[in-house]
Amino acid sequence: MKSTAASVTAASAGATSVPSPVRVGIVGLSARGGWASRSHLPALARLKGYELRALSASSEASARAAGEEYGVPLAFGSTDELVRSDQVDLVVVSVRVPLHREVVLAALGAGKAVLSEWPLGNGLAEAEELAAAADRAGVRTFVGLQARSAPAVRHVRELVADGYVGEVLSTTLVASGRGWGPVFEPSGAYLLDERNGATMLTIPFGHTVDGLTMALGEFTEVSATLATRRPVVREAGTGRTAPMTAADQIAVSGRLESGAVATAHFRSGLSRGTDFHWEINGTEGDLVVTGDSGHLQQAALTVRGGRGADRGLTELPVPARHLDVPELAELRGLPSYDVAYNVGAQYAQILADLTEGTAHAPDFAHAVRRQRLLDAIGRSAATGRRVAV
């Protein structure tokens, strides 16, 4: 599989590899379901080279329930027990964002390789702290920015690199965040408070802008507007009201390293019109990517393009070379295919990185770069000024 990570620290690239199968311990796997059960479990169950050995939860009782539900041999009631276990090589952090720092530091302290869900930390300062701690520990680190593992995104990157559109002049993106709309699920109440670091800016926008920059290059400057247009929202089922401080409108414009102009607008909820539309316009042609939500890391995507004298658009199917993890093929029949496949494709990259010493998957240093971009967007919105990235 080709490398998709822009940066890997020298310390992590040189860290000692682990033997295969890589023994995995997941922090935050719940019998009640959730992200880990919908994405990590289907991927790990199908990939050769991994063995899910352990999980931990908020209590011994909940850990036992999850262990029985998913057939995981070791179920711990605390993070410390899991990270200290000699049966775990890779610690997967799948808890709420405000808890990332504590769990990641524990795993690094135990000398374990770590895969943290995105965002790495609750804000830039935490991300920088965790990346520095990982460098000191000298272990491999990974961050769950799996949009860059999506076959359609890899296809777009290749088309641009091969000159399909010529020189990129501009790119425009409009998307729906799916969450942060007028109604929230009880389990998602913590997403409403921007202080928790799990917002429309950090999650769907963060994943999507990471895919955009993989295909087109990094931002050098941004100008942004963030707004909360629904300061009061209602809980599904009960109708109770709750305050929301997270931005539900995000408008960003800027310039990329190539000189291309980029604009992106994320709206909360879902639209009756367009839920994901990404155009790349160049001197020789255009690419258009459409999907069912602004969560590029899990959306079902279609790529179309046109170039030369033809003013129309033609679908450009994803080549088989970008569907290069055969163990995941059976996921195609599942409703959550795009969710689990992209996570699984990243796990395949991580496996090579851990066992062969390669540098395919994005690491903590890359996560810091991405959180610096989000921080710049926040500073621009707060000051009304264009900010260098």
Q: Indicate if the alpha-carbon torsion angle 216, 122, 99, 368 is positive or negative.
A: positive
Place of tokens 């029985």: 68
Does position 4 have pLDDT exceeding 80, yes or no? Answer: no
Residue 16 has what pLDDT? 57
- pLDDT tier at 149, thresholds 50, 70, 90: very high
Q: What is the pTM of this model?
A: 0.94
| Domain residue ranges in the chain | 10-145+332-363, 148-324+374-378
Q: Indicate if the alpha-carbon torsion angle 355, 356, 360, 363 is positive or negative.
A: positive
Over residues 175-201, the mean pLDDT reads: 97
Q: What are the structure tokens assigned to 262, written together?
A: 């980029």
| pLDDT over 90 percentage in the chain | 89
Strand boundaries in 77-215, DSSP class E: 90-93, 113-117, 141-144, 168-176, 183-184
**131 by DSSP, 3-state: which?**
helix
Burial grade of 104 (CB within 10 A; 0-12, 13-18, 19 or more): buried
Residue type, 227: A
SS3 content of the chain, % helix, strand, coil (to 5): 40, 25, 35
The whole-chain average pLDDT of the chain stands at 94
Given a contact cutoff of 8 angstroms between Cβ atoms, the answer to whether 47 and 347 are in contact is yes
Does position 368 have pLDDT exceeding 90, yes or no? Answer: yes
Does position 1 have pLDDT exceeding 50, yes or no? Answer: no
Over residues 346-372, the mean pLDDT reads: 97
Burial grade of 264 (CB within 10 A; 0-12, 13-18, 19 or more): buried
Q: Indicate if the alpha-carbon torsion angle 200, 204, 205, 207 is positive or negative.
A: positive
Given a contact cutoff of 8 angstroms between Cβ atoms, the answer to whether 18 and 355 are in contact is yes
| pLDDT over 70 percentage in the chain | 94
Residue 141 has what pLDDT? 98
Integer Cα distance of 260 and 280 in angstroms: 10
Q: Considering only CA atoms, which of 92, 42, 5, 70 is closest in space to residue 339?
A: 42
Q: Tell how far CA 19 is from the center of its chain.
A: 26
φ and ψ of 66, to 5 deg: -70, -40
240-244, 337-341, 359-363: the lowest-pLDDT one: 337-341
Q: What are the structure tokens assigned to 349, written together?
A: 């990259």
Place of tokens 């931990």: 56
- pLDDT tier at 18, thresholds 50, 70, 90: confident
- Which one of 3.40.50.9100, 3.40.50.720, 3.40.50.80, 3.40.50.10860 gives the CATH number of domain 10-145+332-363? 3.40.50.720
Residue 12 has what pLDDT? 44
- pLDDT tier at 9, thresholds 50, 70, 90: very low
Question: DSSP readout, 307-334?
Answer: ETT--S-EE-PPPGGGS--GGGGGGGGS
Does position 371 have pLDDT exceeding 60, yes or no? Answer: yes
Over residues 108-132, the mean pLDDT reads: 98
Residue 333 has what pLDDT? 62
Over residues 191-195, the mean pLDDT reads: 98
Residue 10 has what pLDDT? 39
Does position 350 have pLDDT exceeding 70, yes or no? Answer: yes
pLDDT tens-digit series, residues 35-58 = 999 999 999 999 999 999 999 998
Does position 304 have pLDDT exceeding 80, yes or no? Answer: yes
Does position 8 have pLDDT exceeding 70, yes or no? Answer: no
| DSSP letter, residue 115 | E
Integer Cα distance of 201 and 189 in angstroms: 16
Q: What are the structure tokens assigned to 202, written together?
A: 């950090």
Over residues 314-327, the mean pLDDT reads: 95
**358 by DSSP, 3-state: which?**
coil
Residue 15 has what pLDDT? 54
Over residues 144-151, the mean pLDDT reads: 96
Residue 311 has what pLDDT? 87
CATH top class, domain 148-324+374-378? alpha beta
Residue 278 has what pLDDT? 98
